[in-house]
Chain A
Amino acid sequence: MLSLEIHKTFPHGSPVPGLQASVEIRDGEFVSIYGDSGGGKTTLLRIIAGLTTPDSGRIVMNGETWLDTARKVYLPPQKRSVGFVFQDYALFPSMTVRECLEFAVGRGGARGGVDALLGLTGLAGLASRLPSELSGGQRQRLAFARALARRPPLLLLDEPFSALDRATVADFQEKIREAHAMFGTTALLVSHDLDDVFRFSDRVLRLEGGRIERSGPPASVFGGQNVSGKFRIVGTVLSIERSDIIRIVTVRSGPEITRIVASPGETDGVNPGDKILVFSKAFNPIFMKIG
């Protein structure tokens, strides 16, 4: 169980005045933090990892106090067992894949640990390469393997998919799910992509103006309680075309582009670039086996 209550004021000129959060996360839960960029999502992860100090607050992980400003307790990042996947990988440029994982596992680590990580992330064939010789997806998998090396009970993922193409993301997301199931890790994922949020999360924290405005399963946070949707996808509006009395909305979801017919009233306030939830309630969607 991770429980935290923190407050931090941001410098003048930041998009939001500060960050105020109070959260409890159960063991093994997969929680996404969703919100606009500059809204404090990354700061929240950094505060949990001990890389940024809040103005005041308390963080307790599995009964161990990591931070308590009232009692002047501050555990340095080294003493908090977290795995952190940084947005820009932050790989060690001088270490090969194997050296990096050996460094991460450390002397006290399990002997077979490095090979298991290489196998899990599909990097076994690339063990002697430097990060500069890896593709974007491979780098991200190395960053992920490195974060798992110490078997941390808490995994923090900062926009891990932002720099990758969709096919690589799908592959990588599978790895994350496997690892999450295998190690029973509690995971906290920062994302501004609704696809990711829906795909992964048991629960989503919606951060707005530096506060957690809503918390719950993705469908209830984004769709409202009344969505019983037998079928739904999350997509981005690419365009809205007028055609006589109807509107044709073009929506992208992952690699797929779909056109949906809508009435003029429905498209009010919806603009290209918006994230929308497309769902079908009255009719069952038709499906066919393709593989």
Chain B
Amino acid sequence: MSPETSFAGPLLLSLRLALTTTAVLALIGIPLAWWLSLTRSPLRPLVSTCVTLPIVLPPTVLGFYLLAAFSPLSPPGRILHQWLGTDLVFSFTGLVTASVVYSLPFMVNPLLAGLEALPAPIREASLTLGRSEMSTLVRVMLPAARPSLVTALVLTFAHTVGEFGVVLMIGGNIPGVTRVASIAIYHEVERMNYGGAHVYSLILLSFSFVVLLAVSLINRRSMKTF
């Protein structure tokens, strides 16, 4: 039995998915939140709505559209298959893609709130010192909004671990490939193996509790230093 099809397999897979998703979302979400915090473009409400949409959308809706879009029978899916040789449905890459879309608001929104809460002259002071927007973001703004950055990263990670509907729609339940911990619980219950389901559930419950507690402790501590 390979490690990923063992009992710990789904947990390791969840961990790998959450880490990958968080890393990808940091690269996308930080510049996006920065842009949203500064722009006066008429597109802003539209972009902002799209970012927040996954919070209210049933995961199955998102999963269904992604499934339809990335199916080898649809044009985008066919292009990906022919040009890059990847299939996004029922694969780990597909799970990462879906998770990135699904967890986008959890990365962008806390960060956006943090950046917008900083006084505008902080950024302007850095600009008058000859610093580029990029240098200002990395050296001044993100460190100043560190509690929000930490919150965004942790929530993204935790939310990805906890997702179910999107994963089931686009990834299915393939041991070692797409059977993450949340799917494993469903799978164990279907097999009437309640013991296994209990163990997975308890692990996820404790994990979520610890994560949220950590976020609230981090935020409380950083409140004191300001």
Chain A residues in the interface with B (C-beta under 8 A): 49-51, 76-84, 86-88, 90-95, 103-104, 106, 130, 132, 146-147, 149-150
Contacts and interface: CB of A to CB of B under 8 A. Distances in A.
Given A78-B130, A78-B132, A92-B144, A132 B125 contact: no
Interface string B112-151: 0000000101101111111110000001100110100000
Contact of A146 (B119, B125, B143): B125
Given A92-B140, A132-B225, A86 B124 contact: yes
A60 B155 CA distance: 50
Contacts of B139: 103
B83 interface: no
Nearest to A104: B129
Contacts of B143: 92-95
Q: What DSSP secondary structure best describes chain B's contact surface? A: helix
A198 B164 CA distance: 70
Contacts of A147: 128
Contacts of B121: 86-88, 90
Given A88-B119, A92-B140, A103-B139, A150 B124 contact: no
Main SS at interface, chain A? loop
B146 A90 contact: no
Contact of A94 (B119, B125, B129, B146): B146
Contact of B124 (A80, A90, A95): A90
Nearest to B130: A78
Given A90-B119, A94-B144, A150-B130, A77 B225 contact: no
B128 A83 contact: yes
Contacts of B226: 93, 132
A92 B126 contact: yes
A92 B129 CA distance: 12
Contacts of A79: 130
Nearest to B146: A94
Contact of A90 (B122, B130, B132, B225): B122
Nearest to A87: B121
Contacts of A77: 124, 127-128
Nearest to B118: A93
A49 B129 contact: no
* Most chain B Cβ neighbours within 10 Å, of A49, A51, A87, A90: A90
A92 B141 CA distance: 8
A92 B131 contact: no
Contacts of B132: 78
A141 to B, nearest CB: 15
Given A93-B144, A94-B146, A132-B226, A51 B126 contact: no
A119 to B, nearest CB: 20
B135 to A, nearest CB: 9
Interface string B203-226: 000000000000000000000011
A280 B202 CA distance: 86
B125 A90 contact: yes
B191 to A, nearest CB: 51
Contacts of A103: 126, 129, 131, 139-140
Given A93-B144, A94-B143, A132-B225, A84 B125 contact: yes
A50 B129 CA distance: 12
Contacts of A49: 124, 128
A159 to B, nearest CB: 12
Given A86-B121, A90-B124, A132-B226, A106 B130 contact: yes
Interface centre among A50, A79, A83, A93 (most CB of B within 10 A): A93
A77 B123 CA distance: 11
A132 B119 CA distance: 15
A78 B144 contact: no
Contacts of A130: 225
B27 to A, nearest CB: 22
A150 B130 CA distance: 9
Given A84-B128, A92-B143, A132-B225, 20 more contacts: A49-B128, A51-B128, A77-B127, A80-B128, A87-B121, A88-B119, A88-B121, A90-B124, A92-B140, A92-B144, A94-B143, A103-B129, A103-B139, A103-B140, A104-B129, A106-B129, A130-B225, A146-B125, A147-B128, A149-B129
